[in-house]
Amino acid sequence: MKDLKYLAAFSIPIVAFISIYFKGSFAFLTVIFSFVIIPILELIFPIETENLSSEDVDHKLKKKIFDWLLYLNLPIVYGLVFFGIYEAVNTPIETYELIGIIFSVGIVLGVNGINVAHELGHRKSTNERFLGKALLLPALYMHFYIEHNFGHHLHAATPEDPATARYNQSVYSFWFTSVFRQYLKAWKIQIKLLKTNKKGFFSVKNDMFWYVLLQIGYLMTVLLFFGSIGLLFSISAAIVGILLLESVNYIEHYGLLRLKTKSGRYERVKEMHSWNSNHVIGRIVLYELTRHSDHHFKSSKKYQVLDCHDESPQMPFGYPTSVVLAMVPPLWFSIMNKRVPKEMVLD
């Protein structure tokens, strides 16, 4: 039965469906559930730091249920996106209800869309990576696959990494620097890959070009079938999902820096270069993303077998709670700055 605990990751889509279907006083239920109820549950439930035995790891890696729990997010995410658009366009709706269901769909895009795409994007199977990219499409963030896999994992915890928040940088500043720098860096990585493989810009191997076409095609399809309101809804929900992802990026590496060796190169990525959280609720709803240090240690490692490392810096709260705290920069700085290792703080 413990293997089925990740079914709780579908609680956010279920609440989002309720928000979209009932509207009215339920319009902001997804926001309340994600950023009030879940943080409260994180404080109530215990922290679990134990790691799996080698026998348990082998057992869990053989069970396909963990993979299917990820795959199931594809129809759920797309279903909720189009259900939200349909309701926004075809039912009498107040402005506050529209905003509420946009946030509901956006949160699902961030948690069950981009986050699951992140997990699948690290898989060796071409089909699984395809599913990951498909989950990034309605979030309009397909370039994340390239920048994250070929950029972030190489440059994490360095000034060269757009997805690493600087010490004393607010989450609002980070939204802008991370979003724009990641997109530009994704293009640079793509062009470099094309040159390495002796391919031109208009080659079929230019994934960034295809991502642009696919995302434009998606938006034009929405415009064709649902009109301008549907288009506005899909773009707005995508923005919510993107900002939620970037808020998680913000807390994952905030203030942590790899030091340079005598040769002038950065030390390799270690367990101390990502913020970890063992708060059980956040671990489950985010498919163990909160055990982020082990993910960077071996990015191909599947979520159900990620370990906790004692040397990793530990967050005082779970990821969902930490995202809420990050929205109040003075409070975030007062809690987190003293936890950043002094040797990582640049003068």
Whether the per-residue pLDDT at 165 is higher than 90: the answer is: yes
Per-domain residue ranges of the chain? 2-257+264-344
Tell me the CA distances in angstroms from 179 to 42, 71, 109, one per residue in order.
29, 26, 16
Whether the per-residue pLDDT at 1 is higher than 80: the answer is: no
Can you give the pLDDT at residue 347?
Answer: 53
Tell me the CA distances in angstroms from 221 to 1, 75, 112, 122, 283, one per residue in order.
42, 18, 22, 29, 36
300-306 mean pLDDT: 94
Decide: helix, strand or coil at residue 260.
strand
For residue range 177-194, what is the model confidence (pLDDT) as tens digits?
999 999 999 999 999 999
Percent of the chain residues topping a pLDDT of 90:
90
| Strand runs labelled E in the chain | none
- Whole-angstrom Cα distance, residue 279 to residue 285? 11
Instruction: Calculate the dihedral angle through the C-alpha atoms of 258, 345, 342, 293, rounding to the nearest 10 degrees.
Output: -40
φ, ψ of residue 260 to 5 degrees: the values are -90, 145
- Cα 25 to chain centroid distance, Å, stands at 28
Q: Whole-prediction pTM value? A: 0.96
Structure tokens at 135: 């989950």
Can you give the pLDDT at residue 298?
Answer: 84
For residue range 99-126, what is the model confidence (pLDDT) as tens digits?
999 999 999 999 999 999 999 999 999 9
Can you give the pLDDT at residue 3?
Answer: 78
- Whole-angstrom Cα distance, residue 25 to residue 90? 19
Can you give the pLDDT at residue 208?
Answer: 98
**Half-sphere exposure of 19 toward its Cβ, with a 13 Å CA cutoff?**
30
Structure tokens at 344: 């990582």
Q: Report the mean per-residue pLDDT for the chain.
A: 95
In eight-state DSSP terms, residue 258 is P
Decide: helix, strand or coil at residue 203.
coil
The amino acid at residue 75 is P
Decide: helix, strand or coil at residue 124.
coil
Structural Rg of the chain based on CA atoms: 20
Whether the per-residue pLDDT at 260 is higher than 90: the answer is: no
231-247 mean pLDDT: 98
